[in-house]
Structure 1
Amino acid sequence: MPYIIGTSIPEDKVLVQSVANIYGLGLFQSKNLCKKAGFGSDSRGSHVTFLKGKFLENLAEATSLPLGADLLRFQNDKIRRLCVLSTYRGSRHRKGLPVRGQRTHTNAKKRSLLKLNVS
């Protein structure tokens, strides 16, 4: 089972969908990456050899976008900065409430349950 940017690629799944599971890549970008790497639209994870997997990983890392753990770290740093500055958005993140102006009277049950531990 090959790994690309810390994400495992299942052998029985379509390769384009598996590459789209990498954090920060969508379906459109994964189609472009697979096409550049020489994989067809019906290729599976079992068709990825070690060299082709490395080539696909190099193509993904060559994009100007942060991917995987780097993107997660970047997003968490932005949230942490808001909390340190004591902004309104930072306090909403700290309390685990909706940040972008959504109502909380009847909705936001899931968001309030998912308390983000950023401090």
Structure 2
Amino acid sequence: MPFIIGTSIPEDKVLVQSISHIYGIGLFQSKILCKKAGFGSDSRGSHVTLFKRKNLENLAEDTPLLLGADLRRFKNDKIRRLCVLLTYRGSRHRKGLPVRGQRTHTNAKKRLVLKSNVS
């Protein structure tokens, strides 16, 4: 089972779908990477040789996008910065409530209950 950017690629799945499991790569970007690496649309994870895996990993790392752990760290740092600055969005994150204006009268109660049990 090959690893690309810290994510295992199953050998029995279609390669395009497997690559989209990497955090930060969607299906569209995955199709582009497979086409650049020379894989067909029906290639599977078992068709990936060591040379092709290195090529695919280099192509993924050369994209201007943040991927994997770097993207997670970037997102968490942004949320942490909002909490430190005591913004409204940061307080919503801290309380475990919806951040982007969703209603809480009938929805988002489960998230609030789960957060309150942890505190």
Which TM-score bucket, shorter chain as reference? over 0.9
C-alpha separation in 2, matches of 1:32 and 1:113 = 42
The residue correspondences of 1:78-117 to structure 2 (distance < 5 A) are 78-113=78-113, 115=115
The residue correspondences of 1:1-119 to structure 2 (distance < 5 A) are 1-113=1-113, 115=115
Task: Calculate the TM-score normalised by the size of structure 2.
Answer: 0.93
Runs of 4+ that moved beyond 4 A:
none
- Aligned CA distance change for structure 1 residues 114 and 43 (closer, same or farther; 3 Å): farther
- Aligned CA distance change for structure 1 residues 74 and 12 (closer, same or farther; 3 Å): same
Q: Which amino acid aligns with 2:29?
A: Q
Over the aligned positions, Cα root-mean-square deviation in angstroms equals 1.1
Unmatched segments (≥5 aa) in structure 1: none
C-alpha separation in 2, matches of 1:85 and 1:91 = 10
How far did residue 113 of structure 1 move? 4.9
C-alpha separation in 1, matches of 2:27 and 2:111 = 26
C-alpha separation in 1, matches of 2:57 and 2:112 = 37
How far did residue 111 of structure 1 move? 3.3
- Aligned CA distance change for structure 1 residues 9 and 110 (closer, same or farther; 3 Å): farther
- Where 2:25 maps in the other structure, the secondary structure is coil
Q: Percent identity?
A: 84
C-alpha separation in 2, matches of 1:110 and 1:42 = 41
Question: Is the 1:96–1:113 contact (alpha carbons within 8 Å) kept by the matching residues of 2?
Answer: no
